[in-house]
Structure 1
Amino acid sequence: MHSSICMPISPSSHTLLKSNNNPFLGDHLSSTPCLPLRRRPSLATRALLSTTKEAVLKDFHERRALKIISGLQNFNKDNVASVVTAAEKGGATHVDIACDPELVKLAISLTSLPVCVSSVDPETFPAAVEAGALMVEIGNYDSFYEMGVVFTPEQILNLTKETKRILPSVALSVTVPHTLSLPDQVKLAENLEQEGVDIIQTEGGKSSYPSKPGVLGLIEKATPTLAAAYSISRAVKIPVMCSSGLSAVTAPMAITAGAAGVGVGSAVNKLNDLVAMIAAVRSLANSLEASAGRHSTSAERALKM
């Protein structure tokens, strides 16, 4: 039996914001959680924020994003360093780590890729952004499912609104839980788009238990997240990232289904050898590049007919 979780936002988050001077955070020094006082940022600041977000989202808009995920509750510096290094050397476009300022500093010392931080507590995001994170993610719920905890659409919307309130100019991705029915996933995605979310992420790998080995098993495992990507991408205009249970076999299927990118975690972060991690990321990147090449060739042929 699952239980739901509600993460109240404490006043300490507002104190934290007052001490930050990162231009990516905007200017919102509110003394009351519900009625933030915001001054209009300068034209130069708005231009900088716009340019930064545009750069972070560029690969999504080009439908070629590959995000490597170390894990929301993975605070092992050695493992995170290996995952980040593998993402950099293997050809990924983004890396996603736990929301911890020290891990962010470690990551940006190892890669030039945009660093995304994942959490279900919005008040932890500002310190990570101050440390150098360029994107925040509400999601990567797998570790909570293992504890019997699920998130309702209302809770996710509230977390989203709070995150947008305290970090209005930072790229925001939100995961739609696979625990919802497919129609409810689509409805939540539509509501998140209305709240100003930049990317919708799907999931489903751990809910699928393949009955076949090999390639058939890989396709079976990816089915829930592929179905979500297909349905959600046709309901919203913002990019959809397909994540959970993907491999080099199924990553191109996600793009064909309508996703703008793929997110891969355990297929990389569970490996014990850095060389093997790099090889896994390179295999994913190559599969996406090959798929893009086939689509380009098909389009060129269609134009010549």
Structure 2
Amino acid sequence: MAHGAAAGVLPMPLCPAAKQSASGQLHGRADPVLHLRQASRAGRRQLKRWPSFTTRASASTVKESVLRDFRQRRALKIISGLQNFDKDKVASVVIAAEKGGATHVDIACDQELVKLALGLTSLPICVSSVDPLAFPPAVEAGAQMVEIGNYDSFYEMGIQFSSEQILKLARDARRILPSVTLSVTVPHMLNLPDQVKLAELLEQEGADIIQTEGGKYSSPSKPGVLGLIEKATPTLAAAYSISRAVKIPVMCSSGLSAVTAPMALTAGAAGVGVGSAVNKLNDVVAMIAEVKSIAESLGLLSRCASEELSSARQ
């Protein structure tokens, strides 16, 4: 399997700072072997720099809050995109998640974006990256969950991730942030048995959530509802198989819609992740409508209404 656009090269997220030219840098790219060798040493330094991450009582409370909807098998995470640093677009996605009835929102790993999101929503904020050293500043800014994954933008560049690379990234993330909720995406480029094996190893490494993917690039042969079901098949199959192999929650993501989101829960997923179905829309009103449609299909809005009525009666 190819591990990069060039041998030995793994791209890091193209954050605004990384886009600037600098002597000896590769415009946001780094040698993965060198990066991973340095990660454990750098991770120890990061822990000294951000000691608040090791406060067990508060970290445990935050983690319980983040994982509650997963444990109740009702999580809906709206994803703005790992390489999406456009503040206006990210704000629209966050607003849609908040107003549409989602339970979590996932944004690019950037301190300023986290601060922006905190001003727009009370939902738990997840930050996505393939560089574990990018997580601590975002967590310090207020992110409650980190995600190694959302690889879509890398696939578009012809770059894939091996099981070994992902395991190493997960180990580094867990070492740097031992108490923060960690989600790791299993690439759909792996065959299904290898996806299951990787998920089992990630659970052993301390991952809290496994996210599946697959379907964004499928071309359904049927129109309408049949096409939507066909497009979701790869991620549904992964969720079914992985959820029966691990004890931690599985989030089914990629290629899902209001038609197929309930199927993910039936297949064994504890939640659903939705990206392009929302973030590719150009209007925040349309985004809210799409999130509401998916939330309704999962029974989230009726459940929220029942909980509010019960609270009012008490």
Q: TM-score, normalised by structure 1?
A: 0.86
Preserved CA contact (<8 Å) 2:46 2:176: no
Instruction: Determine the C-alpha separation between the residues in 1 that align with 2:137 and 2:3.
Output: 29
Q: How does 1:80-229 map to 2 (within 5 A)?
A: 80-229=90-239
Unaligned runs of 5+ in 1: 27-44, 294-305
Q: Is 1:64 the equivalent of 2:74?
A: yes
Preserved CA contact (<8 Å) 1:252 1:291: no
Instruction: Determine the C-alpha separation between the residues in 2 that align with 1:224 and 1:189.
Output: 16
3-state SS in 1 of match to 2:119:
helix
3-state SS in 2 of match to 1:205:
coil
Preserved CA contact (<8 Å) 1:230 1:257: yes
Instruction: Determine the C-alpha separation between the residues in 2 that align with 1:67 and 1:206.
Output: 17
Instruction: Determine the C-alpha separation between the residues in 2 that align with 1:216 and 1:101.
Output: 41
Amino acid at match of 2:223: P
Preserved CA contact (<8 Å) 2:239 2:250: yes
Amino acid at match of 1:289: G
1:20 Cα deviation (Å)?
2.4
Per-residue CA distance 1:139-174 (angstroms, 9 max, x = gap): 000111111111111110000000000000000000
Q: TM-score, normalised by structure 2?
A: 0.83
Amino acid at match of 1:157: L
Instruction: Determine the C-alpha separation between the residues in 1 that align with 2:56 and 2:45.
Output: 24
Instruction: Determine the C-alpha separation between the residues in 2 that align with 1:160 and 1:257.
Output: 25
Within the candidate set 15, 19, 44, 2:49 is matched to 19
Instruction: Determine the C-alpha separation between the residues in 1 that align with 2:76 and 2:219.
Output: 24
Q: Report the counterpart of residue 283 of structure 2 in structure 1.
A: 273
Per-residue CA distance 1:225-283 (angstroms, 9 max, x = gap): 00000000000010000000000000000000000000000000000111000000000
1:212 Cα deviation (Å)?
1.1
Change (3 A) 1:290 1:170: closer
Instruction: Determine the C-alpha separation between the residues in 2 that align with 1:76 and 1:291.
Output: 29
1:207 Cα deviation (Å)?
3.6
Identity of matched residues, %: 75
Unaligned runs of 5+ in 2: 5-9, 11-30, 304-314
Q: Report the counterpart of residue 41 of structure 1 in structure 2.
A: none
Preserved CA contact (<8 Å) 1:108 1:132: yes
Q: How does 1:279-298 map to 2 (within 5 A)?
A: 279-289=289-299
Preserved CA contact (<8 Å) 2:72 2:270: yes
Instruction: Determine the C-alpha separation between the residues in 2 that align with 1:290 and 1:71.
Output: 23
Q: Is 1:263 the equivalent of 2:273?
A: yes
1:93 Cα deviation (Å)?
0.1
Instruction: Determine the C-alpha separation between the residues in 2 that align with 1:68 and 1:125.
Output: 19
3-state SS in 2 of match to 1:156:
helix
Instruction: Provide the aligned C-alpha RMSD in A.
Output: 1.7
Preserved CA contact (<8 Å) 1:199 1:241: yes
3-state SS in 2 of match to 1:262:
strand
1:3 Cα deviation (Å)?
3.5
3-state SS in 2 of match to 1:63:
coil
Q: Report the counterpart of residue 263 of structure 2 in structure 1.
A: 253
Change (3 A) 1:215 1:182: same
1:46 Cα deviation (Å)?
1.9
Change (3 A) 1:122 1:290: closer
Q: Report the counterpart of residue 87 of structure 2 in structure 1.
A: 77
Instruction: Determine the C-alpha separation between the residues in 1 that align with 2:240 and 2:46.
Output: 39
Q: Report the counterpart of residue 13 of structure 2 in structure 1.
A: none
3-state SS in 2 of match to 1:149:
coil
